[in-house]
Structure 1
Amino acid sequence: MNQDSRRRVLIVDDYVSGAEALAEACSEHYDVRFVGGGSAAMEVTLAWEPSVVVLDIDMPAPNGLDVARMIRDMSHLDGMVLIAVTGRGAAFDRDEALAHGFDSYLTKPVDVNRLLALIADALG
């Protein structure tokens, strides 16, 4: 990951209004982009190399679990922090997300202060 990407945050959600709202909340502190699906997430991740990806799990293919797995399979993206955002709340779903390579798991509606704290912790 290059030095310029330290404060880059990518928000991914097929519910575009939700992605926009999270991006707006984060933009005061970080360089933020948002996209509306898994394919676009991979394109932007590869081209822009954000340090944090906030990724909805429940999207049309490729879903968030697929995208997380693809990112984790690319050695040049080591160190990228993945935060799952989803309407799922069961412990099994959380464990499944973490097993797919997510570092953190948030349920919707997202507590923006908690999200900002996770991002700040990730960026040190």
Structure 2
Amino acid sequence: MERFYDERMKALEGVDDPASRLVITIRSGLPADDDDEEVRLLCALGGEAARNTVYAVLLTALFDRQVAMYQAILEMGRAQGVFELASDSLKIARNLVALEDAYGYRIMAGHPTLDHDATAELILDYARLATAHPLVKET
């Protein structure tokens, strides 16, 4: 689970531009491919969370940390005048994490047209609407 929060936070060290931070965070939140063992484990935990309180607590904590990570980036962008948020930052952040999770499942299921780059672009499309920023692939 460190990969989806701690490692992402480390990847943002030294990156001051909120748009760059958002792109990096989105791109690093998806499985590399359908053989991604760490994501396979998270998917299995997710399937068991309804029956196992420990798994449910772990996954809820991860979700909340990821939401807070996105929300901080969105608020930073708004404060700097880089983003014009279309909605409350909490709602946008929750949607970004939910999109990561949903598209991550599609990647893991081997969807023929949804690989890492395609799904990152779909999530970036939502983020562009939510932030009124072009969010180029490598900002």
Q: Shorter-normalised TM-score: what interval?
A: 0.3 to 0.5
The TM-score, its normalising length taken from structure 2, stands at 0.34
Pair member with larger Rg? 2
Structure 1 or 2: more strand by fraction: 1
Higher relative contact order structure (alpha carbons within 8 Å, sequence separation ≥ 6): 2
Structure 1 or 2: more helix by fraction: 2
